[in-house]
Every structure is written in C-alpha cells, then in structure tokens.
Amino acid sequence: MSRLVVVSNRVAIPDGSKSSAGGLAVGVLDALKTTGGLWFGWNGEISEISGEEDDDLNLLENDGITYASLPLNQNDYDLYYCQFSNAVLWPAFHYRIDLVQFQREAWDVYCQVNDMLAKKLQSLIKPDDVLWIHDYHLLPFAAALRKIGVTNRIGFFLHIPFPTPEVFNALPTHQELLKMMAEYDLLGFQTEADRNAFVENLVQQNEYEELGEKHHRAYGNTFRTEVYPIGIAPDSIKEMAEGPLPPKMAAMKKELGDAQNIISCERLDYTKGLPERFLAFEALLENFPQHRGNVRYSQIAPTSRGEVLAYQDLRHQLEMEVGRINGKYGTLNGTPLFYLNQHFDRRLLMKLFRLTDVGLVTPLRDGMNLVAKEYVAAQNPDDPGVLVLSRFAGAANELTAALIVNPYDRDEVAAALNQALTMPLEERKARYDEMMALLRKNDIAHWSRRFTEDLQHIPLHGNGQDTPAEVATS
C-alpha cells in the first residue's frame, strides 16, 4: 500500500502527555499507523521569519509516523488564518454571510500561504504517496501542488458544511475556489446535502460535465465526490466515561441530590446557537413549571478566536442572558443555569456526560458535531441519558433515535427537553442501543479507511481523457 501523507492546518504533534486525542486527530493517527506516513501542517507557533526559510521545517519521528510542521509569521496568521479562513470562509460556509469580512489582500495571502505550504511539502513527497488534505483552510492546496508538478493522488475532506449557490456565490472569489477544488481527485463531504450543494455550484459554471454517479469533469479535470460522515471511537469514549469520579465531581453529584442535569459543551462560536439554546431553556422553565428548582443546565463554552469581534459580542450576549435567566428563576438554594467559559479535560468531560440526564446539542449549522456522538457513547447502558439534537447538525442524519429539533423554535426545543427529562427508562435504553449500534458500525476507523481506500483506487492525475464509462467503474 502507498504511504499516506496527511495535510491539515494544525498538526497534533505528540508531546508525551496522556491526554486523549479527539476528532480529526484520532482518525488521522489511525490511518497513518495503518500505512505509515507523514503528517504535515502548521505547528501553532507565530515566528519572526517570512515562512520561506529552509530551516523552519521541524521533523519528528514517533511510532512510525513523521510529523513535519512549521510556524506562520504574524502577517500570514492574521490574513490567511484569522481573516480569510475564519472571517470569510467559516461564516460563509455556515450560512452567515452577514458576518463575512472580505478583503482582497487576505484572499491573496490565503493563496500565497497555500502555495508556500505546497512548496515546503513537495520535497517530502515520494512518487507513490497518496495525499489526504483536510478542511477549509486548504481549499487551494491541490491546485498549488499541481502548479509545481505534483501528480500524486490527492484527496480532500471538508469537515464543515458546504453552502448552496445562493450563499456561495456571494463570495467574490467563488469561481476561483471552485476551480481550485476541481484539482482534487476525490472530494469528501460530511453529508449528502453538502455534496449536492458543491455539485450544484459546479453545475452553474461553464464546462461542467456529469460523467456518472458522483463522477464529474470541470475546468478540465476529472474527479469524484463522495459522502464520508466522520465518526468517533465509541469504546474509547465509554472507557473514559467509566470508572470512579474525581473527588470534586463526586461531591458535586452528592450535592445535586435528585436534581436532573442538562449539559452542553462546545467552543464559543456563533454557529452553535447558544443564545437560542438559553432562550429554549428559559421556555422550559416557563412552559413546564414543574421543572423549576428540579433541573440544572450547565453550558461549557471555552473561548475560541477571542480576537474576532463577533466572538467578543457573543460572549457578552451570553453573559447578559445568564444573569437575566438566573435572576428570574434562581432561588436561595441555587441557580438553574451555569455558564462556564473555560476548557475542561476531555476525560473529565466524558465523565460529566455520563452523569447528566440530557445532552443538548443544537447548533444552527454544523458539519457533523462529534459532541453529539460522544455524549451518546459516554452514557451508562443501564441508565442512559437522552440526546436532544439540532436537525441542522450532520449527526442528525445518523442519530435519528435522538430527539431531533429545530434550534430556531424555542418552544419546540423546550418541549423536547421536557420529553427527555420525563422519558421512561425502557425508551431511553432503546434509543441509546439504536444509536450505539450505528456509532460502532460507522466509527472513526471506518471513516478513515473508507476515504483512503477510495482514494487509492482513483486513477492517477493527468488521466483526464478517461471516458465516462471508464471513470464510473474505476
């Protein structure tokens, strides 16, 4: 089997700690350990140098995997990462065009950083390597590699949603982005809706041709699209959630007594629907007064991208809502809503998930949302909690036994919370068993294996004269 080369914006460089990796890192490491290979990307550091120096690439060998990483300079970090990636692509791909802050200079640097990274990687690539590129920071990466003569198989996986043409066409560089993405051999998406949105954008452009089911030609390139919903390692999550509680958590559980618990956990981001979620919890207390004083909602939301104004505004809004709701429904014995703007150890989080009665995961738009899957996997099979899940999370396509809600409808979410808090044990167990069977079937190893095997079978780049029949059966 060919060696696998993984490229992502950030590289999870091993540091000797025992903290458990999550999300992308688990799938990438599983794939790399199977074939041996290289993981390449930014190390998270900001340097004084321009990024073109020969000695800024750091190589580390660990457990059969080579980690190749480098810093970004301040200008590249500001314009490639903060501005174009996270103030243009992130809001646009999550259908928040109102928050897009497009600057032509940032677009230029976004492309320049992709070109720079491609040149850095080129010297590390072997002729038969297979390249797997990840996420919205690196949409132009295949095009950058093709410009300098790389002909290896290159696949791309988008971890966030892909917008429909009505939204995507609002980006001034939408045509350039589509042309660059067509340089990949295989494009993977979280859901069929995301894949269809990408294809719909292509259809609106000239020179697009459908070669067969999920096989396409555009801008002179032949490529395939497919859906690969990312999973988790459910047995690893279950193991973290089990076992004795830390002393402080055991004391907290004792203090709560018979009170029921709702928990949410995600980084602070406007896509997660946190203000809407707080209002839905308020509606639960308004519409179902029997829960007043008998339920506590804990929202964990560590700060991310704190330098971006939209995130600062969101944090202020949430703090105001917490004070208002607790002022309205709090008692001398305690407050119903706890908002924690801090990071929690992943192992501790899994134990928290296991202790709670309801997992509330209601993003306004999400590629997948692995927290929903982790909440289910962390539950006690003999007394599981209930997942309340947004219909706009990719996970809703798989976790159909959850209580699926529209996060914009506060009363619908409140009713679902009431249903979850009062659900009989047998129904909770039946829903849990159904979701766990799916999580085990479509776990993180299955996700990475499907993608890499499909990529291995793609014809080598430059074989663009294949007939539609040949492509469709490749």
Length of the chain: 474
**DSSP H or E segment with residue 47:** strand 37-47
Q: Partners of 444 in the beta sheet?
A: none
Q: Residue 65 phi/psi, 5° resolution?
A: -115, 135
The two structure tokens encoding residue 399 = 């976790």
Contact between 184 and 426 under an 8 Å Cβ cutoff? The reply is no
Predicted local confidence at residue 54, as pLDDT: 55
Residues in Cβ contact with 195 at an 8 Å cutoff, skipping those fewer than 6 apart: 162, 187, 189, 214, 225, 226, 227
Scan for tokens 């995507």, then name that residue.
Answer: 168
The two structure tokens encoding residue 66 = 């080579």
Predicted local confidence at residue 472, as pLDDT: 38
Predicted local confidence at residue 33, as pLDDT: 81
Q: Which of 185, 366, 443, 461 is catalytic?
A: 366
Give me the half-sphere count of Cα atoms (radius 13 Å) on the Cβ side of residue 424. Answer: 3
Give the separation between CA 364 and CA 393, rounded to whole angstroms: 8
For residue 95, give the 3-state DSSP assignment: coil
Amino acid at 193: A
Give the separation between CA 239 and CA 396, rounded to whole angstroms: 24
The two structure tokens encoding residue 231 = 């999973």
Q: Which of 137, 159, 216, 291 is catalytic?
A: 159
Contact between 136 and 89 under an 8 Å Cβ cutoff? The reply is yes
- Annotated catalytic, 159? yes
DSSP class of residue 433 equals: H
The residue ranges of the chain whose pLDDT is under 70 are 1, 16-23, 49-55, 252-253, 255-256, 305-308, 461-474
Predicted local confidence at residue 211, as pLDDT: 93
Torsion of CA 58, 62, 66, 72, to 10 degrees: -30
The two structure tokens encoding residue 136 = 């919205």
pLDDT tens for 132-141 read: 999 999 999 9
What residue ranges in 254-341 does DSSP mark as E strands?
A: 260-265, 295-300, 337-340
Give the separation between CA 429 and CA 42, rounded to whole angstroms: 43
